[in-house]
Amino acid sequence: MNSNTFRLPARVPARKAAAATAAAALAAVPLALATPAHATGGGGKANAVVLRTGLDVSLLDKTVHVPLKATLNEVRAPGSAEKTALSVRVDGVDGGRPFQVLRADAATARATVEDGRAAAYSNLARARVHVPGLPLLSLVEVEKVTSEAVCAAGRKPVATSNVLGHVRVLGKKVTLAAGGPTRVEVPGVGEVALDLSKTQTTSRTAAATALRLTVSVNPLDLNVAEVTGEVTLAEAACEAPDAPKKPAEQPSKAPAKNVAPQSGQAPEENLAETGGSAATPYLAGGAGLLLAVGAAAIVVTRRRSGSRS
């Protein structure tokens, strides 16, 4: 059986109670919905966890406070990561004996960042969660809860979560409402408020939490006076990788239109269109010579006619 074990101090002096309570409060901040609304960019991120607890345990005399911080199957990416442990236990919160916080038939957390896509997934099936002071009564029992977050470069992120089948809180079967917390109170034991299927998306991030419990348990006549804090089941969150940059386009050169061919001599057909040709200068010179010869012949003829008279 796969399991995680956390060792905690058996006792903490009363003067350290405030510090321990503060640590528990910090641990109660859900990982998925704490994803920053404004992404910083880069290669993408993904994280998932099956169980997260941020509880403060006080003994009867209230001189000892023990923070109960535990996670099951917490994974992070870049790269690829997956865990499938089925239980988690802690030491030092139940009279020095090992205490099992969660036991499940199936528990998977997976995170990947590759090929321009970041994705996270968590799943928990047939699981029971216990807190100190209630060894025989489950804090919560679920049939199946899942969360998934997908962030692809250049696309809108998607976050989904589901709670399937029955849910029991402090032994009572409850019907969860999406509009607000569902409260369960058991006299002489305590009160639990449940928030169902929370999702959040921005332009580059997505986060989902299947089930979150706000716990205030004060069992009578037991060795634990009070257990307060939060328990979260099935978280998933992601941040999209940067979109690949497109190569800069080079300006294209269009061929010039209606450009006449360049040469040292214009084509003959162009000259013919204007009434001239390459022989025109020679013809003009010959005509002038003929006119001069004709004029000279006329002058000689006239002189000879005058002499005979």
What's the pLDDT tens digit per position in 168-205? 999 999 988 777 789 999 888 889 999 988 999 999 99
pLDDT at 68: 87
* Selected residue with higher pLDDT from 52 and 296: 52
pLDDT at 75: 95
Could you tell me which residues come within 8 angstroms of residue 69 by beta carbon, excluding any fewer than 6 positions away?
A: 6, 8, 23, 24, 27, 53, 54, 55
**Residue 113 and residue 78 in contact, taking contact as beta carbons nearer than 8 Å:** yes
**Whole-angstrom distance, CA of residue 10 vs CA of residue 97:** 10
Side chain identity at 53, as an amino acid letter?
Answer: T
Q: What is the pLDDT of residues 11-35, one digit of tens each?
A: 444 334 433 433 333 333 333 344 4
CA 29 from chain centre, in angstroms, equals 20
Q: What is the pLDDT of residues 61-81, one digit of tens each?
A: 666 778 888 899 999 999 788
For residues 236-241, give the mean pLDDT.
96
**Residue 217 and residue 227 in contact, taking contact as beta carbons nearer than 8 Å:** yes
pTM over cut 0.95: no
**Residue 278 and residue 265 in contact, taking contact as beta carbons nearer than 8 Å:** no
Nearest to 228 by CA among 11, 57, 18, 14: 57
Decide: residue 275, CB within 10 A, 0-12 exposed, 13-18 middle, 19+ buried. Answer: exposed
Structure tokens at 203: 């332009």
pLDDT at 66: 81
**pLDDT tier at 249, thresholds 50, 70, 90:** low
CB atoms within 10 A of CB 259: 7
**Whole-angstrom distance, CA of residue 8 vs CA of residue 98:** 10
